[in-house]
Structure 1
């Protein structure tokens, strides 16, 4: 890779980092407004929280994990833009992103549905057939495992480099 290509790659990584920051901040702020701040303002005004605000916040909870995954990707892009080695950055990012996506998917498919059953007095199913959540959970698990494999490969490479 030529120096010009490397400089362009780092610039693109820096831009992507800011795009990830913008997405996390804007979507996170909108979710906080909708599910926390506005219901709190209504509760102060009316003396009681609006009905169903806990369920709404519960159904939005997997999004917090997905936003953490985007934040982790942005953080990795920022590190690459600063010149950190790709293998170490990628392995760490894969583990964090995989864990966040996996937990978000499991939360979406199993936890949200069952907590909603408890809040609503036993109505509803045991499993939310959320294909997107199931897919993200599976991809998250695979990314986490790939990150561990890359960590191990880095350790083996370091050990081999010491022998030479």
Structure 2
């Protein structure tokens, strides 16, 4: 069904769509690289340099806790990377249904895990390493929302995969 829509597109529309997919792919790459570099600089490079210089202002416990609080961002960046990868494949002319199903599953898993970690993991991991005390769940509405959206996207990806398999079977019968 989705592929039939793209088959009906004119050559100009398809070329424009692929060009936009390629541009969004590069935007995703830029976002992942720039945010990833900033995270690495803040949580790995700068503390390591300060520690190597003998700066006593760096408390390893606080540094570790801040690094733990940043971990959901890694899952969110993987979701953006997965979107960029899918758009890059579409820009190269791959069929949309297999690409879409895989992308939805990867983005769904990444957002779901990031949201779960944000809501339930961070506070408990912080408590284990001796950080802050508090409840067993951090009621981060954004994290909860991303977790739910991730679960829904994962399920939609499975539906798209199933539709693709059924379409292949029907095409084989004709």
TM over 0.5, shorter chain: yes
Q: How many angstroms apart in 1 are the aligned matches of 2:35 and 2:14?
A: 31
* Residues 76-117 of structure 1, C-alpha deviations (whole Å, 9 max, x = no match): 000000000111110000000000000000010001110111
Shift of 1:120: 2.4
SS, match of residue 50 in structure 1: coil
Equivalent position to 2:87, from 71, 74, 77: 77
SS, match of residue 46 in structure 1: coil
Aligned residue number for residue 37 of structure 2: 29
Aligned residue number for residue 43 of structure 1: 51
Question: When the two structures are superposed, what TM-score results if normalisation uses the length of structure 1?
Answer: 0.96
Question: Deviation above 6 Å: which 4+ runs of structure 1?
Answer: none
Equivalent position to 2:10, from 2, 22, 25: 2
Equivalent position to 1:65, from 75, 78, 82: 75
Question: When the two structures are superposed, what TM-score results if normalisation uses the length of structure 2?
Answer: 0.91
Aligned residue number for residue 162 of structure 2: 152
Structure 1 residue ranges without an equivalent (≥5): none
Shift of 1:121: 5.8
Structure 2 residue ranges without an equivalent (≥5): 1-8
Q: How many angstroms apart in 2 are the aligned matches of 1:144 and 1:59?
A: 25
CA RMSD of superposed structures (Å): 1.3
Q: How many angstroms apart in 2 are the aligned matches of 1:123 and 1:155?
A: 49
* Residues 107-157 of structure 1, C-alpha deviations (whole Å, 9 max, x = no match): 100011101111226712111010000000000000001001111111111
SS, match of residue 138 in structure 2: coil
Q: How many angstroms apart in 2 are the aligned matches of 1:30 and 1:153?
A: 40
Q: How many angstroms apart in 2 are the aligned matches of 1:43 and 1:61?
A: 22
